[in-house]
Structure 1
Amino acid sequence: MGLAPMAEKEEVEKRYTTLLKRERARQKQSASESASSEGRDEPEFTKITEAYRYILEYEDRKITEAFNQQEYGKYGGMAEKAQKVDHFWRYYKFHTLGAIALIALLIYGINSYIDHREHQKYLASLPPVDVHVSFFGTFMLPEGQKDQTAVNAALLSHFPEWQRVDSTITFVPQDDMNQMAYLQKAAVTLVTEKADVYIMDRSMLQYIGTQGVLMELDDKTDIIKGLDEKRLQKLTVTPGVLDETPGEEHIYAIDLSGSWLDKELPLLKMDLFAGVRVNSENPEKALQFIKTFASAIK
């Protein structure tokens, strides 16, 4: 290329650009000459191009080696492996993270499915539920108590002929500012669950009792006879969209405060108003449940 040894990369590029222009000019000139003269200097320029590419590749290798020495020289004999790991992580980081996340989701899904199957097997091995009790309102488990096992045991202890009582808790605060989101959950639970007995605080008694969810207790004389009038919770069901006529007032719940249930139930609570779901699957046992605790306060 006609350059001094160890010439700078910029000089090499300028020199090659000059030679390239000359070669193009020569090719244009040769186009007007005889065919015997075509390509007379092509082998020489081909060698120049090869030399130019070799010099550029050499310069690139020097830059790469300097970078690798700076980045991975601290690893000594492990530098090459460290470089490979770094390159892999740089180019495949998101692929790797995505694969790890996918594997984690698969493991979680499989474990959840196995746990669900085991729980279903456990429930299938239990005796049928005699009464399902649903707590609505300011009811909470005491600190350190993880489930309703103690609650269910306390309820069942008053019915030796029964085999199983199940319960659920839907917490709804009485504070109006924080109540709306909880009420939405309560509304969904009322529609989807199959409760026999509802135990409510005063706020939820008004909410549930006026929706036509509870059974009328006016004619259940074996339950209400002898009870103080204040314990008989009378409500009027809110009329439906197509029925603008207000309903009549009926007894829909019993105040069980001061009963065995109030004293023995291992729950944090404020009020205890008990009613029976109008379409309970176990209506007789549900009424027996309320009668048992109401009879202790007559």
Structure 2
Amino acid sequence: MDLKRAYEILGVTYKAPIEEVEEQFFILIKSHKTQLETNVDSQNLINIDEVNEAYGTIKEYFEKLEKEKRQQDAPQKSAFRKKLEHILYYYKFHIIAGIFILVVTVVITLSTIEQRQQQAIIDSLPPADLTINIYGQFRNIEKDTLEDNILTMFPEWERVEIKVTTSPIEINSQFDVGEQQISVIELMHDESDVFIVDAFHFSTLIERDIFLPLTFLNENIINDTDNEELFYASIDNEIGEALYGLDITNHPIFIDSNMDPTNRNVVTFHARGNEQENAKKFIETLMN
């Protein structure tokens, strides 16, 4: 979508600040919800899909600007240090000011070194062997613990990347509305290999054709699994009813991860994943 068109759809001035855009976005979401509750004529109903796309376009634009700004600011660090050194020299006979500047310089220098070390660590990390999106009413997940638990199961893997996308089941506030809408936008661009969702969101997402059937699972594994742990759906008329999800709520990978399910944890196979072979291996291993 064109950026100018995106601003027109949200009804804000072209290139207005992101804070104004987000405020208008939440207003439109709330207005749309009110329209639905009052049975507004479909011709006058806010096109929420268009609003979501417009917000996503503007958000992506600002993220690009922020990235460019960080790149432009990076070379200025050395100039900043030179300025500090000049100030320190100028106040060399002012002991109190000199001590203060020295402390500030040390703190900034240590912070810069730490940031560079952290960035160096991130840059040196190998590509993820598996990416997992934990989607649904989940909060405060100990991702590091969960990643470690998974790597223990797959010692040949070097890295697992987990992201948590919170989407509330019940809407009790405007914050919940915004959180739910943002989760939908993020879902549009997500390319995780595996999804772990609560049962409620499995039933809503399965209709969007973003999951693949688990046809790769050995028939013996399926037969040995309790029927209540198997999630079937009929999406493709040619395939008919097929297995799309598995209940892994009580699996040991969730130990100490603060994964407190609202209504069961279901693992699914994402259609847009990049590491589909590892995704299959992960799901198969969970069921053994």
* TM-score normalised per structure 2: 0.53
Give the length in aligned residue pairs: 178
Counterparts of 1:126-275 in structure 2, within 5 Å, are: 126-141=125-140, 148-178=143-173, 180-221=177-218, 223-237=221-235, 248-263=240-255, 265-270=257-262, 271-275=264-268
Q: Quick check: 1:125 aligned with 2:124? A: yes
In 1, Cα distance between equivalents of 2:73 and 2:203: 39
In 1, Cα distance between equivalents of 2:281 and 2:70: 43
In 2, Cα distance between equivalents of 1:208 and 1:220: 21
CA contact (8 A) 1:201 1:272 kept: yes
* TM-score normalised per structure 1: 0.52
Decide whether aligned partners of structure 1 residues 112 and 216 sit closer, same or farther in structure 2, where only a CA change above 3 A counts. Answer: farther
In 2, Cα distance between equivalents of 1:183 and 1:249: 29
CA contact (8 A) 1:150 1:266 kept: no
User: Aligned Cα RMSD in Å?
Assistant: 3.2
Q: Identity of aligned pairs, percent?
A: 21
Q: Quick check: 1:287 aligned with 2:283? A: no
Decide whether aligned partners of structure 1 residues 177 and 227 sit closer, same or farther in structure 2, where only a CA change above 3 A counts. Answer: same
Question: Highest CA radius of gyration, 1 or 2?
Answer: 1
Residue 225 of structure 1: CA displacement?
4.0
CA contact (8 A) 2:246 2:268 kept: yes
In 1, Cα distance between equivalents of 2:73 and 2:140: 27
Listed as ranges, the gaps of 5+ residues in structure 1 are 1-105, 240-244
Residue 215 of structure 1: CA displacement?
0.9
Decide whether aligned partners of structure 1 residues 117 and 208 sit closer, same or farther in structure 2, where only a CA change above 3 A counts. Answer: farther
In 1, Cα distance between equivalents of 2:255 and 2:118: 32
Listed as ranges, the gaps of 5+ residues in structure 2 are 1-65, 75-111
